[in-house]
């Protein structure tokens, strides 16, 4: 296992904390409520979910496991019987139509606007958007994503934008990993929103003859990217935050974020990042900062006002999620570890958590 120097972890976490301001995110607590958590309105009010079984899913990217564990534990404090989300791990293309058909009740891994296109999926009786809704604002504008290029190559050839790699035959050849004559982006799993956006960006810009996305398991592709950077090989890889990725490839130290001169219209919006991390001016990254939100079946929300109110109230810190991701990346990655980390986070934030639970009980 590679050791992760403390300085690199600190650098990455400081970067993550900066994302909140850069992307206009928020760490504000949820709404307060005076009902309390001791059931002043009776046992039924204290445990509004008692006797209700909830089918919960989670996304098939590990950086969302922590949030799923937190929400599961909070619902259980309200008396709900919640399925193990690790047994219902799905990609967006599978999850959203299934949610619309009430095969699942909710997940906490919606990314917006990245996942908006999945709401247009055809399902019996209409489209998915007729039956499902995003709820609350778990992390507002705190999910940053884009393309990283190794800093050594970027510095040597003065690379600041993806267009330079696409349009310069010499650079294009340098980033051609498999020798097929086009540059390679180590990208996303098939069916993820980022995979679709990258493909659409390539198509809309007419780049199909110059660059392509390598789609496979992102964790494996990222591991390949880390090895290539360590070996001094030109490397182009997609990543997102909050995550532990930037503790392996630190922006401004190992890599830089690339700008895009012509992002998709839905992805326009420059990030306010330090020049050493994103030297493009403006720092258009090809992806706007996303909101991470709960997405639930409408019938479930109507039937369970306490759960709906909880989903509206919960707000998580992008920094706290990133710190847990670092712990998970360092080896504390079993489901037992993740459940323990969630339980510790809840107890460390008990005053705020109790306010959320009080709001849920009041709604019931």
- Residue range 320-347: mean pLDDT, rounded: 95
Does residue 136 register a pLDDT over 50?
yes
Cα–Cα distance measured from residue 45 to residue 78, given in angstroms and rounded to the nearest whole number: 9
* Complete domains list, the chain, with CATH: 6-143+290-363 (3.40.190.10), 145-267 (3.40.190.100)
Which tens digits make up the pLDDT trace of 321-330?
A: 989 999 998 8
Mean pLDDT over each residue of the chain, to the nearest integer? 90
Q: Which residue has the higher pLDDT, 17 or 279?
A: 279
> Measured between alpha carbons, how far is 143 from 157 in angstroms, rounded to an integer?
29
Q: What pTM was computed for the model?
A: 0.81
The predicted-structure confidence for 181-224, as pLDDT tens digits, reads as follows: 999 999 999 999 999 999 999 999 999 999 999 999 999 999 99
Q: What is the pLDDT of residues 15-31, one digit of tens each?
A: 554 554 444 433 444 44
Judged against a pLDDT cut of 90, whether residue 278 lies above it is answered with: yes
The pLDDT of 44-58, averaged and rounded, is 93
Please give the Cα distance from 146 to 210 (Å, whole number): 19
At residue 34, the pLDDT reads: 42
Given this model, what pLDDT does residue 247 score?
A: 83
The pLDDT of residue 295? 98
How far from chain centre, in Å, is Cα 80?
26
* CA–CA dist 314, 74 (Å, integer): 10
């Amino acid at each position: 296992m590679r050791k992760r120097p403390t300085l690199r972890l600190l650098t990455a976490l400081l970067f993550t904390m900066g994302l909140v301001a850069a992307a206009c995110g928020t760490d504000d607590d949820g709404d307060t409520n005076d009902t309390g958590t001791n059931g002043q309105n009776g046992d039924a009010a204290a445990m509004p979910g008692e006797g209700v079984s909830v089918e919960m899913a989670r996304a098939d990217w590990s950086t969302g496991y922590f949030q799923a564990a937190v929400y599961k534990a909070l619902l259980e404090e309200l008396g709900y019987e919640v399925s193990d989300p690790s047994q219902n791990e799905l990609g967006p293309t599978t999850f959203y139509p299934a949610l619309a058909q009430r095969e699942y009740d909710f997940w906490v891994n919606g990314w917006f606007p990245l996942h908006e296109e999945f709401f247009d999926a055809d399902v019996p009786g209409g489209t998915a958007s007729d039956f499902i809704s995003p709820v609350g604002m778990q992390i507002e504008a705190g999910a940053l994503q884009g393309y990283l290029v190794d800093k050594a190559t970027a510095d040597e050839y003065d690379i600041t934008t993806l267009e330079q790699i696409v349009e310069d035959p010499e650079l294009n050849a340098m980033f051609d990993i498999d020798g097929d004559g086009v540059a390679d982006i180590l990208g996303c799993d098939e069916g993820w929103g980022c995979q679709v956006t990258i493909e659409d960006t390539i198509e809309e810009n007419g780049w199909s003859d110059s660059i392509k996305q390598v789609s496979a398991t992102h964790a494996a592709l990222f591991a390949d990217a880390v090895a290539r950077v360590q070996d001094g090989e030109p490397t182009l890889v997609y990543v997102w935050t909050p995550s532990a990725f930037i503790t392996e490839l630190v922006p401004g130290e190992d890599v830089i974020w690339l700008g895009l001169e012509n992002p998709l219209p839905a992805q326009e919006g420059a990030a306010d990042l330090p020049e050493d991390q994103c030297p493009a001016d403006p720092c258009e990254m090809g992806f706007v900062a996303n909101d991470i939100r709960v997405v639930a079946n409408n019938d479930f929300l109507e039937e369970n006002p306490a759960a709906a109110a909880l989903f509206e109230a919960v707000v998580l810190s992008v920094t706290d999620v990133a710190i847990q991701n670092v712990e998970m990346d360092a080896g504390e990655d079993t489901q037992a570890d993740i459940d323990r980390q969630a339980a510790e986070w809840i107890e460390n934030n008990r005053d705020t958590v109790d306010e959320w639970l009080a709001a849920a009980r009041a709604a019931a």
